[in-house]
């Protein structure tokens, strides 16, 4: 009877197995550096395309067995070692496999360290190519690097270098008849091994005095390479094949619309370095490269950036790769004169992104900070600038008993997110962010490039392990489709929507998507009307401020800009405090002026001019620790000494949730009359000058775009010239890179406008 039961059990298993393509029983054994088994260690498999996740702990023998019934390639993750091994090449039917993995976190971190762009260093060279005898003392180490080819024969007379970023030195070496390159180098130093033009091919660290021997296989590249600065052009034969260290890459480029791409250029940027491989397509749109493996390459065309990513970071052995790439030229890059921005398309970096000043921590929930840029005027003074600042009291005591949270993190993983180590900093910030959430808070995780992928369906945070694994698994892709990622995030919020609590999508993107912004905004509003908020985080110099500001303002969340990876952590801290910390609300500021000091413009906040002599602004997004700075520009109406008795009055009202009532603060500021001749400087402080210059430049760009939209092309050009002249008067001999960038942007728009006018007049 027992045999029959066993037979039926096996038959049921066979029937279940026969319904799938394969069944792999794969055993993974984990050992430490002493090769002792490691028990009760979590081993997680993540399928690279579907993001399916399986997690188990090792037994007392350090082993864990997985039943794999689907997928093409599974990444193995053990504690902090991510993608430390891969399982693939599944045969149809039943098969078994086995991996022995040594858990060596120090080696893993060193091996997977981000490549450093050496442009930022001034690296000198030390020639050791003729070193034969290699004596060393207590402060030096001898290094012997033996390099063999694929057939195990020594690689003779070949250049090999050791580079130390700490010393900013490269030690030049060359292999001898035995394939050995000899070096004498300082101890307690990390060195990257460079070979055949490949930076950081491997590494060796001299922790103490002695002799270090290392052998690795490298098959030299037998093709001609022309290197100009950081750009590499290869002469590739038709029968190109991969080697143990280089991948034969064949690309077929199809241009959208079927247009001819022959002779057009394609650029492969080796991520983490400053190297770019340049190729030219043939008449069929084909191009080949022989690329170093263990790297990722971001694809660019002349008129389309960040197209896709070729990921060869996990490839080992002799490999070949073939891909088809769709080339969709961006008309804004191809014909810039046709795309001078209208007001709704204009990208502006608000001056608040450049503020370094920090107000002191207030004792009250909110504190005003009012100061004239120069409070002294005379009869020649025509204008005055007032700094209007405020600070919300900080709070690190998150409200653990507050309303629940239903959050969807929608993360852009397009190729340009790799720049400035943004993707690394982002993942680190996200990992820290989720540790501050409560176990019962609901979170989903979506990543997107040109396609959206649901990494974690909407569910309670729990112990956070699932979220942590999937955040760390995010990898760079290509393209950007904001709409798809955003909608998937909204859909996840709807599945677990809270009747009482916060339902919010946090959308992070680094640029313009392939989707229509108007459609994206319309779709977002549909969900906003259902009570789902949206916060937006713009990353990089070219983020679509026009789109993200509208999404955030209608979505009721925050809008933040990340200029560099250093800012990512603080941005997520703001988002966290806005979600979890008690704070003031319904903040309104009203500025009253008079006939002597007449309001002209407010930079830094949206405002509404009321009847009479007052202007009002309302702050929508409030969170603990928030600091705001605005600049008010006033015209002075025939000033004289009586102006000292004509103050500008600032009133702030806000609701204090702790007192359950509204509070009010009032401040008055006066100008001082100086009966002296000569022009008085408008602004004294350097930072205020910079903020004012950026504000005026931004306002100038807005007026330029409005003139362009109305067909007043000459007025637009003239306005640019007037604004630039004004900035040079306020900010003479400025070496500030941010001000210069905006000045250059204005000059570029002026050039585009002139070309646009010329083309238009030529047609007429």
What is d(CA 192, CA 205) in angstroms, rounded to the nearest whole number?
Answer: 8
CA–CA separation, 370 and 649 (whole Å): 10
d(CA 681, CA 644): 18
| Domain 224-334: top CATH class | mainly beta
141 token code pair: 């180490």
Cβ neighbour number for residue 703 with a 10 Å cutoff: 17
Q: Is the dihedral of CA 146, 150, 153, 157 positive or negative?
A: negative
The fold adopted by the segment(s) 686-763 is: Methane Monooxygenase Hydroxylase; Chain G, domain 1 (1.20.58)
708 backbone dihedrals φ, ψ, rounded to 5°:
-65, -45
Mean pLDDT in the chain? 84
Work out the angle between the directed axes of helices 422-435 and 465-472 (0-180°, nearest 10): 180
Which pLDDT score is estimated for 89?
A: 79
Q: Report d(CA 641, CA 379) in Å as an integer.
A: 9
User: Is there a common fold for 21-108 and 113-217?
Assistant: yes
Residue 635 has a pLDDT of: 93
Instruction: Select from 3.30.479.20, 2.60.40.740, 2.40.160.60, 3.40.50.2300 the CATH code of 366-395+584-673.
Output: 2.60.40.740
Predicted pLDDT of residue 6: 41
| Run of H or E including 291 | strand 286-292
What is the pLDDT at residue 319? 79
559 vs 554: CA distance, rounded Å: 11
Q: Which fold has domain 405-580?
A: Rossmann fold (3.40.50)
Q: Which residue has the tokens 């992928």?
A: 453
∠ CA 241-247-253, rounded to 5°: 90
Superfamily of domain 113-217: Carboxypeptidase-like, regulatory domain (2.60.40.1120)
**pLDDT per residue as tens digits for the range 564-622:** 666 777 777 777 777 776 678 788 999 999 999 999 988 888 788 877 789 998 776 67
Which residues touch 112 (CB under 8 Å, ≥6 apart)? none
Distances in Å between the Cα of 421 and the Cα atoms of 18, 345, 539, 594 are 46, 28, 12, 51
Closest Cα to residue 568, out of 546, 537, 533, 534? 537
CA separation for the pair 600, 695 (Å, rounded): 13
Distance of CA 519 to CAs 145, 265, 419, 484, Å? 59, 33, 29, 11
- Under-50 pLDDT residues of the chain: 1-19
Please give the distance of CA 745 from its chain centroid, rounded to a whole number. Answer: 23
Radius of gyration of the chain, Cα coordinates, nearest whole angstrom? 31
| Dihedral sign (CA 90, 96, 102, 104) | positive
Enumerate the domain spans of the chain. 21-108, 113-217, 224-334, 366-395+584-673, 405-580, 686-763
Q: Which CATH architecture has domain 21-108?
A: Sandwich (2.60)
- Within 10 angstroms of residue 217's Cβ, the number of other Cβ atoms is 15
């Amino acid at each position: 009877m027992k045999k029959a039961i066993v037979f039926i059990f096996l038959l049921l298993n066979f029937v279940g197995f026969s319904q799938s393509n394969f069944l792999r029983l794969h055993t993974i054994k984990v050992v430490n550096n002493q090769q002792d088994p490691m028990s009760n260690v979590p081993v997680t498999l993540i399928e690279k395309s579907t993001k399916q996740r399986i997690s188990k702990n090792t037994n007392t023998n350090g082993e864990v067995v997985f039943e794999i019934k689907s997928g093409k390639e599974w990444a193995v993750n053990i504690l902090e070692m991510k993608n430390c091994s891969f399982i693939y090449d599944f045969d149809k039917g039943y098969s078994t496999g086995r991996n022995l993995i040594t858990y060596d976190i120090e080696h893993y971190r060193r091996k997977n360290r981000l490549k450093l762009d050496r442009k930022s260093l001034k690296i000198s060279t030390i020639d050791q190519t003729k070193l034969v005898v290699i004596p060393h003392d207590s402060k030096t180490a001898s290094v012997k690097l033996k390099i063999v080819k694929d057939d195990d024969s020594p690689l003779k007379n070949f250049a090999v270098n050791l580079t130390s970023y700490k010393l900013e030195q490269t030690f030049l070496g060359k292999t001898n008849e035995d394939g050995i390159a000899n070096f004498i180098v300082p101890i307690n130093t990390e060195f990257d091994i460079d070979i055949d033009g490949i930076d950081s091919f491997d590494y060796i660290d001299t922790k103490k005095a002695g002799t270090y021997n290392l052998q690795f296989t490298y098959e030299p590249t037998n093709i001609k390479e022309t290197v100009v600065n950081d750009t590499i052009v290869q002469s590739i034969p038709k029968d190109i094949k991969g080697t143990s260290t280089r991948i034969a890459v064949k690309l077929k480029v199809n241009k959208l619309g079927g247009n001819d791409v022959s002779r057009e250029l394609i650029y492969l940027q080796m991520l983490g370095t400053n190297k770019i491989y340049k190729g030219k397509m043939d008449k069929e749109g084909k191009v080949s490269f022989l690329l170093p493996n263990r790297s990722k390459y971001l694809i660019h065309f002349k008129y389309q950036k960040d197209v896709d990513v070729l990921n060869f970071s996990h490839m080992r052995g002799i490999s070949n790769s073939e891909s088809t790439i769709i080339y969709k030229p961006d008309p804004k890059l191809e014909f810039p004169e046709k795309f001078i921005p209208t007001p709704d398309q204009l990208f502006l970096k608000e001056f608040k992104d450049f503020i370094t000043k920090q107000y002191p921590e207030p004792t009250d929930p909110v504190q005003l900070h009012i100061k004239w840029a120069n409070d002294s005027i005379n009869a020649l003074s025509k204008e005055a600038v007032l700094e209007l600042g405020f600070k919300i009291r900080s709070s690190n005591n998150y409200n653990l008993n507050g309303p629940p949270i239903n959050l969807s993190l929608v993360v852009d993983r397009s190729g340009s997110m790799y720049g400035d180590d943004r993707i690394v900093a982002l993942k680190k910030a996200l990992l820290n962010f989720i540790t501050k959430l409560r176990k019962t808070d609901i979170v989903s995780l979506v990543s997107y490039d040109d396609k959206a992928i649901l990494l974690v369906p909407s569910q309670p945070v729990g112990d956070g392990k699932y979220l942590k694994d999937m955040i760390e698994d995010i990898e760079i892709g290509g393209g950007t489709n904001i709409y798809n990622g955003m909608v998937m995030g909204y859909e996840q919020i709807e599945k677990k929507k809270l009747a009482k609590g916060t339902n919010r999508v946090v959308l992070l993107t680094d640029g313009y998507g392939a989707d229509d912004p108007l459609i994206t905004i319309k779709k977002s509003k549909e969900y906003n009307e259902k009570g789902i908020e949206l916060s937006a985080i713009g990353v990089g110099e070219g983020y679509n401020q026009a789109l993200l500001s509208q999404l955030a303002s209608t979505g009721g969340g925050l809008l933040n800009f990340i200029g560099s990876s250093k800012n990512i952590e603080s941005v997520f801290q703001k988002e966290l405090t806005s979600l979890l910390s008690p704070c003031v609300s319904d903040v309104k500021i009203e500025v009253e002026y008079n006939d002597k000091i007449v309001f002209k413009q407010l930079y830094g906040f949206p405002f509404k001019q009321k009847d009479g002599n007052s202007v009002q602004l309302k702050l929508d997004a409030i969170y603990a620790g928030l600091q705001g700075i605005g600049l008010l520009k006033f015209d002075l109406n025939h000033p004289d000494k009586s102006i000292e008795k004509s103050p500008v009055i600032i009133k702030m009202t806000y609701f204090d949730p702790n007192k359950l009532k509204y509070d009010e603060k009032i401040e008055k500021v006066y100008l001082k009359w100086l009966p002296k001749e000569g022009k008085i400087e408008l602004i004294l402080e350097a930072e205020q000058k910079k903020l004012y210059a950026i504000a005026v430049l931004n306002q100038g760009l807005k007026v330029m775009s409005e003139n362009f939209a109305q067909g007043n092309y000459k007025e637009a050009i003239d306005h640019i010239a007037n604004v630039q002249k004004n900035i040079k008067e306020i900010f003479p001999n400025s070496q500030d890179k941010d001000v210069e960038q905006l000045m250059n942007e204005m000059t570029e728009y002026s050039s585009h406008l002139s070309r646009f006018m010329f083309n238009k007049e030529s047609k007429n």
